[in-house]
Structure 1
């Protein structure tokens, strides 16, 4: 009888699914940084009923045609939105990665964008690019994608600040400050 119970226990143990050791270590890191108007696209501004002017100190600003006041989204330089980078360790030397932005201000609607994110680890760099028309949207986010590392170690999802931006309806070019999210991939 003891042999049957022992054999039954062994079979039952084989039937119980076990979680991989790394599942408990699953983590998500999201970093958010601001976005800043760094210039204007005059053709976009004109196409949407705005004029780009220059004040007495040489700073450009956007004005809705027929209005005498500058747009509030441009009078607060450095405050046109926020951008994020997210990395989630999922085990087996893998992570999911995503990125995006949310715009602010009265005229914080994007008509176009160019976005670059690189995933770096001890074995190299994997660039990702998105871009194109947005039909006046306040936000954009990538679909999460899988990243496979060659081995265990730190990995970073980095929005490239010099080439990641949204072009606003008033012509403002709103650049990301380049958030970088880090996680340990094993």
Structure 2
């Protein structure tokens, strides 16, 4: 399952790069195009140790020269470790984020490598009306096989997100919001995720 999924993902990416243009199908399909957007945001390029210390964090340096900001008190659940900054590039190479838009809102997934074979994943949605309930499922695949994370429950807002912390992922990591994930809106609409995904290498 994982092999077919990854092969399909890379085939789409290669076709998009090679083609360099939008492929038009039938007039009916062209009149209602699907929208897919890959967002790249701000990147961590360094740390300010004084600011970190003033707010309960410390900057640690690992054997390979990589740096990370971590809570001074590991039991303080209100504080989370930062992503790791690679020593050679000075740019955070360890965060991936994807957002897919549709006619009733958007869904997203973000993955941060926070340690050896460890990732924090955040996923959620923003919809056009108040969501009263949602069912959310994350599919993960790595060198050790497949796994899932999920959440479901009542809501009273047009947006929702959740962190899944310290998940073990080894090597090539494919992380995706399953297209069975949905938000039930106050007007009765079922707003379904378009399936955003990220690809990482977790060493």
Q: TM-score range by the shorter chain?
A: 0.5 to 0.7
Residue 145 of structure 1 and its aligned partner are, at CA, apart by: 1.6
- On the 8 A contact 1:31/1:86 being kept in 2, the answer is yes
Matches within 5 A, 1:61-140: 79-104=103-128, 108-135=129-156, 137-140=157-160
- On the 8 A contact 2:172/2:202 being kept in 1, the answer is yes
CA distance in 2, matches of 1:89, 1:20: 16
5+ long unaligned stretches in structure 2: 1-59, 67-83, 87-91
**What is the number of equivalent residue pairs in this alignment?**
120
Given the two structures, how large is their TM-score scaled by the length of structure 1? 0.60
CA distance in 2, matches of 1:94, 1:132: 27
Question: 1:175 aligned to 2:192?
Answer: yes
Greater relative contact order structure (CA < 8 Å, 6+ sep): 1
Structure 1 174/140 Cα, relative in aligned 2: closer, same or farther at 3 Å? same
CA distance in 2, matches of 1:96, 1:81: 24
State the superposition RMSD in angstroms.
1.7
Give the secondary-structure state (helix, strand or coil) at the position aligned to 2:163. Answer: coil
| Regions of 4+ moved over 6 Å | none
5+ long unaligned stretches in structure 1: 1-16, 36-78
Residue 114 of structure 1 and its aligned partner are, at CA, apart by: 0.6
Match among 166, 174, 177 for residue 146 of structure 1: 166
Structure 1 100/20 Cα, relative in aligned 2: closer, same or farther at 3 Å? farther
For residues 121-169 of structure 1, the C-alpha deviation after alignment (integer angstroms, 9 at most, x for no partner) is: 121112111111112x1100012422113x4x221221000x1000111
